[in-house]
Chains A and B, each alone.
Chain A
């Protein structure tokens, strides 16, 4: 299914490329796939997989199904980090920019967890609310700095994911996010146990602190890398794990491959939509995912509220 979607993504675009042309070995067609379609599809899959898994990890660690990097301030902080880079060291290479964004994302995720641990949380809905407010504050800070320095429209370039500019040589950083997703997969069981709480986890012989830190780093790095290379893809890390949970329950190791597949598939579908709805122009991926994702989010909230509330 996802492989089929990836194939569709390879052959949808402004230029005409048909599988037949590839088989005939037309150099133009091969070049187009190597330079444009291939990288774009790969970038979409990497972003979809890693962000969805980051969302899942965050939900397990915070023990709340309504958080993800885009609703807990992580993404906003990464963006703030990028604005700060623009101000003080605009000449930094992409990887260093991603590094600074990661530090900001990491710090903010830590602050978010600290906030949660200090707060009496009577209802599970409080957690995403705190996250959204925290994200709002950080986002407002980023907007303010950007406004003061005429960077608002550049800020928009990051706050809406857009894959139209993805070409060979402009997405490779996303492999880092992909690699982190694999790391998360390997240590999936520990996340499940850490998700049971510090006492239980320690009782079961798991170093709760270390697992928590690993999770934090994965979530922060993935968010920062995706924001730096493509921009914010809202709701992705929230919607995908929840849809998978409806079918598979809370077992992290069992659901991770599905979360990865559904994440990749969802992003591919949205991007193909963005490329075809207004062909030959583009609708940025962030917009399409935002519209589709928020609807799914609402449905999940309404469906889940009876059980959660």
Chain B
């Protein structure tokens, strides 16, 4: 007898399981690093790298790499590697070499046909594209290099080392990481002296605030700027009124203009949104201590090696002037 159950497709429990396993995997992830192993069954060399889900064995020096994350693309490009396709998005200038690369979907959703056509050897997903991982795994080895926002720099270092191991560019990676670390140290010293800071993002005329441990928490966490107010860490920030900004009264205001990041420059700029009598009450505004952060680097390419160095220098230059 045919029960209706037989007609149903199996439920995608693997997604749910993977999501459950994620925090555990993150907790297990130590610092970056890799060990090379001999060969896999197919005969190609493989390498074991750290990912957001723990160590994973992947093909070494793969011919065609795909990623849905511009930060990962940034790191690969910075290390001298290349990708075979990019998500549809207005790329920062230094990645303009990929302007005419094949489109493999959006930042969030793969175009599976386009991916299959490229027949990649390795696919890299992150937070925005994580949901597609189980489906992508059916097409090619897929790894998760999501950034843990509460340990942003740690995640960046892990990802840089892992990608370097895949590409065989360890020396360049170590050099770049050492430079980055020096810049962070230098900025942290200045940041700790700078006074209090508040990070806000403007989007379509509205304002949200971000604290330590959030996606923009680098300012407080690694660069030492004291938060003007404690804000629960929430990736998407907390919607706040201008009164909140006035009341927080930060010495420094760090601003991400989301509309610019996504190429929607038609509305009010962050500067116009914040130019009002309430924000004018803050020390930051009256002392002209408003730091415009590079929207692409902070909102879109964050996690990438070059973008991270831009982020650090944004803060360093901002509080130096």
Contacts and interface: CB of A to CB of B under 8 A. Distances in A.
A91 B266 contact: yes
A91 B203 CA distance: 16
Given A86-B266, A165-B273, A284-B239, 12 more contacts: A14-B241, A28-B281, A35-B276, A90-B264, A90-B266, A157-B206, A168-B277, A280-B240, A280-B244, A280-B247, A281-B240, A281-B244
Interface in B233-250: 238-244, 246-247
B262 interface: yes
B239 A282 contact: yes
B240 A167 contact: no
How many interface residues does chain B have, given as a range?
A: 20 to 34
Nearest to A40: B241
Contacts of A157: 203-206
Interface of B: 89, 203-207, 209, 229, 238-244, 246-247, 258-259, 262-267, 273, 276-278, 281
Interface stretch (A98-106, A118-126, A147-155): A147-155
Nearest to B277: A35
Contacts of B238: 278, 281-282
Nearest to A147: B106
Contacts of A169: 276
Nearest to B208: A281
Nearest to B229: A280
Nearest to A169: B276
Majority secondary structure of chain A interface residues (helix, strand, loop or mixed): loop
10 contacts: A28-B281, A90-B265, A90-B266, A154-B259, A154-B267, A157-B204, A164-B207, A165-B242, A168-B277, A280-B244
B206 A162 contact: yes
Given A32-B278, A86-B264, A14 B247 contact: yes
A162 B264 contact: no
Contacts of B267: 90, 154
Contacts of A165: 205-207, 241-242, 273
Nearest to A163: B241
Interface in A54-98: 86, 90-91
A14 B247 CA distance: 7
Interface of A: 13-15, 28, 31-32, 35-36, 86, 90-91, 150-151, 153-154, 157, 162, 164-165, 167-170, 275, 278, 280-284
B276 A153 contact: no
A14 B266 contact: no
Nearest to B264: A154
Contact of B242 (A28, A167, A280, A281): A167
A264 B235 CA distance: 34
A179 B137 CA distance: 59
Contacts of B278: 32, 35-36, 167
When A and B form their complex, which 3 residue pairs have the shortest distance between CB atoms, in order from nearest? A90-B266, A157-B204, A281-B238
A153 B206 CA distance: 12
